[in-house]
Structure 1
């Protein structure tokens, strides 16, 4: 029963830790590797206005939940103008106003977007479109044309595609020729497609946007067609009938109205400019999580002050170092002085580097051990003896730093990063093991502690590991699960297989040889 209970706890911790980490990676976009950058785009709309004498107002459509993209940030530059933003029918707009405008001026709107979706999200069905009112014979011609398209289509998407291709044909069907002027613009052809789709009761609308190009200047919006297939809006190129927006197309606004409407102005000009940027992937994921209002980010370490973040970048590695020590001690069989001493020494190696840290640690422990044996002759009590060892350790650390500085060796200056209490306890522990079990056992445990600390350092200093546990601290639940699981391991350790190899050889040597009277399969 206890074994099943432990297995359930291990599976639960592992499932929770991996599920939260996967959600942050797959949904919120947090990267698994450090120094990863994401591609973001900055789009700037420039509105050049030439005001008259009357009070002026400018209404400008703003992007709102564009397909395939997330709006990370936006800003306005409009010196001397009043600014308000408002939303209606899923369309946002900015309104600039000024009572006494003077001279040519330019209003700016800047948005930063990030592509995070490969598929257009489902949207509510707006209901069947209301057919337009047409007079005869145009009504009969339009209905006949719609029936011909319906006969050659399989669903709403193919119906709209065939209709657009026919509207843009060099020789259009005679039933719709009366609807088209010889020099009809793309916008007029799109309006006609929407009217014909309405006769078939298919909801359709215009969409307008800009192509995201690196260092793009003086860009003008492009018109597209969207039809609703009862699940989502499907974009269709009104020129070719191609389904789907281009990868770098950013939808800015919907509807048959222009993006810019003004009053009290003599002249106005709207242009777009785009540029490509690279932003830290963690920062992008944070902004995206804030926009998505994810409650999980309320408990994120990324919102802590920088000093606290740097502290937890180190502290979160301590459980991982403890797991490494558990593996090396309980499964491999390496003997060490305690559990946390090698972890703390490994953390010190992060500042002193591995080789220099091992040299300094060995030197201080050796010198301190020699003085500890001298203190043993003084027959001191335990607490005063430990206090004396701490004082000696500090003096040794200061002496090594001064001598190395005089010799021009910077490595000695980092000796102060070692935890002096741990050094003092290590010296005391080595001396006790030396006296009780001999120098061989003491040196074996000291060497094992250094080996374990070095291996833990190599894992904990890895930038990928540091990033992974700081961005996904829920992975510590998985570390805890493995630690609990190893805690029930009672089998042979790897080193014991070599220690007791002589017993196996001896048992094989003492096994009697079978005689000629022995029959196979019969007990002797």
Structure 2
């Protein structure tokens, strides 16, 4: 059991992290990169009418869980009107009311939608429709059409698609001509199809919506038909018989009832406008997750206050730097001051940028080291000596900032942002190594610390890494798994192979 304990633990950590990341990306739509954007649409419905006196009320059907899209935002603009929304079957209605309107009235409804990965229609199975009481002439026409379609179809979906193709023929036969009015529209064909399908006891309903075409004003409403096969609703194009809504079609409401109604108003007009826009993928995914009430999003760092998020944006990067240090020390063999001092130095570099940070760090550490050797002659105790080093470091920081200002070297002004404790501890540790192991080891560890700190800075504060770790904090489980694996590494370090290369060449046969 002990032999397999670590591999099993690593496998569990990896599987958990990968599954959570895949779920967030595939289901919730969280982006893998910080600059990723998604396409969204702003759809506006403008309802206008002339008041005829007395209290007025206007009702407008509005989208409710449209297939293939997610409603991100809704706005109602109606000065002087009361507003409420209510659910009616599988539709939703906005109701405006006012006591004493006068003149032309204009009401607005605006929604922002974004495409969703799946097109989900409600799965409820409706009751089978009652066969209409056809008269003799219409009954014969309906039966003739049903017999023709039934002989060429295999199930309800193909039956309904073939029926729409028969009704949409450029030159319909006499049976279709009897059922369809002259100059039949899409709505007429949908109503006729529902009428015919009722004779076959197949549930069907009309749906209407708009096409999402950028810059469209006065978008036309399109009618579609949906049939139920006993398991789900299947949308069918009345013109071609093709199944499934196109990706740019937004379902607005279901049923053959009017999309709006006006009480005490006349000359009503409804116009749709569509505008395409781009939004940050992370913001869109967060709103989608909140609307879906996902348990994962409820415990996400994105739900924290902004100032707390900013703290974790930096804190979550520390394990990434720690993993790099583990690799460079145990596998490569780079010498550093302390185990995690380079990570702290890298955090300081974030305030100054890399090149300026290396320069300022080297200047202050060199000057501080000189002062530290002077303090050694005073035979001070450890704590007072560290306090003296901290004081001197602060004075050096102030001196460098003043000189930078006089020399118009703005980079030097950011030295004040360096954590003084990090500098003081680095100076103290370097002086101890200098005294115990000589200047060569001290300089070697100092250079190694700066190299590792630079590497940590480049990896930790890369925008893609910072974004990925913050949005997917479960990725730290992968970091933990790799750290555990490196903890079992007992092979030669790269520096050792280079050091003993001459010896290995000498003993070769």
Q: Which TM-score tier does this pair reach, normalised by the shorter chain?
A: over 0.9
Residue 166 of structure 1 aligns to a residue in which SS? helix
- The equivalences for 1:216-231 within 5 A come to 216-231=216-231
Hey, what does 1:516 align to over in structure 2?
none
Aligned length: 509
Hey, what does 1:33 align to over in structure 2?
33
Hey, what does 2:500 align to over in structure 1?
500
1:156 aligns with 2:156: yes
Residue 373 of structure 1 aligns to a residue in which SS? helix
Residue 385 of structure 1 aligns to a residue in which SS? helix
CA, structure 1 residues 54+404, in 2 after alignment: closer, same or farther (shift >3 Å)? Answer: closer
Shift of the alpha carbon at 1:175?
Answer: 3.2
CA displacement, residues 365-420 of structure 1 (integer Å, 9 cap, x when unaligned): 11111111111122111111111111111111111111111111112111122221
Hey, what does 1:409 align to over in structure 2?
409
| Matches of 1:278 and 1:147, distance apart in 2 | 50
CA, structure 1 residues 102+232, in 2 after alignment: closer, same or farther (shift >3 Å)? Answer: same
Please tell me whether Structure 1 or Structure 2 has the larger radius of gyration of its CA atoms. 1
1:326 aligns with 2:295: no
Shift of the alpha carbon at 1:121?
Answer: 4.7
Residue 424 of structure 1 aligns to a residue in which SS? helix
TM-score, L = length of structure 2: 0.96
Range 132-141 or range 431-440, more displaced? 132-141
CA displacement, residues 196-218 of structure 1 (integer Å, 9 cap, x when unaligned): 11222221111101111212112
1:83 aligns with 2:91: no
| Matches of 1:115 and 1:318, distance apart in 2 | 36
- The equivalences for 1:50-65 within 5 A come to 50-65=50-65
Hey, what does 1:517 align to over in structure 2?
none
| Matches of 2:494 and 2:220, distance apart in 1 | 71
- The equivalences for 1:195-344 within 5 A come to 195-344=195-344
Shift of the alpha carbon at 1:148?
Answer: 1.5
Residue 174 of structure 2 aligns to a residue in which SS? coil
| Matches of 2:121 and 2:80, distance apart in 1 | 39
| Matches of 1:322 and 1:20, distance apart in 2 | 23
- The equivalences for 1:13-24 within 5 A come to 13-24=13-24
Hey, what does 1:519 align to over in structure 2?
none
Hey, what does 1:520 align to over in structure 2?
none
| Matches of 2:242 and 2:3, distance apart in 1 | 60
| Matches of 1:500 and 1:360, distance apart in 2 | 36
Structure 2 segments unaligned to the other structure (5+ residues) = none
| Matches of 2:410 and 2:183, distance apart in 1 | 81
CA displacement, residues 54-79 of structure 1 (integer Å, 9 cap, x when unaligned): 32221111101111111111111111
Q: Contact 1:120–1:232 at 8 Å: present in 2 too?
A: no
Q: Contact 2:290–2:298 at 8 Å: present in 1 too?
A: no
CA displacement, residues 322-375 of structure 1 (integer Å, 9 cap, x when unaligned): 111011001111011112210011111122111111111111111111111111
Q: Contact 1:365–1:423 at 8 Å: present in 2 too?
A: yes
| Matches of 2:161 and 2:103, distance apart in 1 | 48
| Matches of 1:459 and 1:194, distance apart in 2 | 62
Q: Contact 2:69–2:119 at 8 Å: present in 1 too?
A: no
| Matches of 2:347 and 2:254, distance apart in 1 | 57
Shift of the alpha carbon at 1:188?
Answer: 2.0
| Matches of 2:43 and 2:393, distance apart in 1 | 62
Shift of the alpha carbon at 1:130?
Answer: 2.6
Shift of the alpha carbon at 1:506?
Answer: 4.0
Hey, what does 1:72 align to over in structure 2?
72
Range 207-216 or range 298-307, more displaced? 298-307
Residue 175 of structure 2 aligns to a residue in which SS? coil
Range 306-315 or range 487-496, more displaced? 306-315
Shift of the alpha carbon at 1:16?
Answer: 1.5
Q: Contact 1:51–1:267 at 8 Å: present in 2 too?
A: no
Give me the CA root mean square deviation: 1.7
CA displacement, residues 426-453 of structure 1 (integer Å, 9 cap, x when unaligned): 1111111111111111111111101100
Hey, what does 1:522 align to over in structure 2?
none
Hey, what does 2:194 align to over in structure 1?
194
Q: Contact 1:327–1:486 at 8 Å: present in 2 too?
A: yes
Shift of the alpha carbon at 1:106?
Answer: 0.4
| Matches of 2:186 and 2:135, distance apart in 1 | 24
| Matches of 2:274 and 2:428, distance apart in 1 | 67
Structure 1 segments unaligned to the other structure (5+ residues) = 512-524
CA displacement, residues 205-254 of structure 1 (integer Å, 9 cap, x when unaligned): 11101111212112231111112233332222212323332321111001
Hey, what does 2:134 align to over in structure 1?
134
CA displacement, residues 9-58 of structure 1 (integer Å, 9 cap, x when unaligned): 22222222221121111111111111222111111111111111232221
Shift of the alpha carbon at 1:118?
Answer: 4.4
Q: Contact 1:62–1:252 at 8 Å: present in 2 too?
A: yes
- The equivalences for 1:331-410 within 5 A come to 331-410=331-410
Residue 76 of structure 2 aligns to a residue in which SS? strand
TM-score, L = length of structure 1: 0.93
CA displacement, residues 119-161 of structure 1 (integer Å, 9 cap, x when unaligned): 4456232243332221224223312320121101122222112
Range 285-294 or range 427-436, more displaced? 427-436
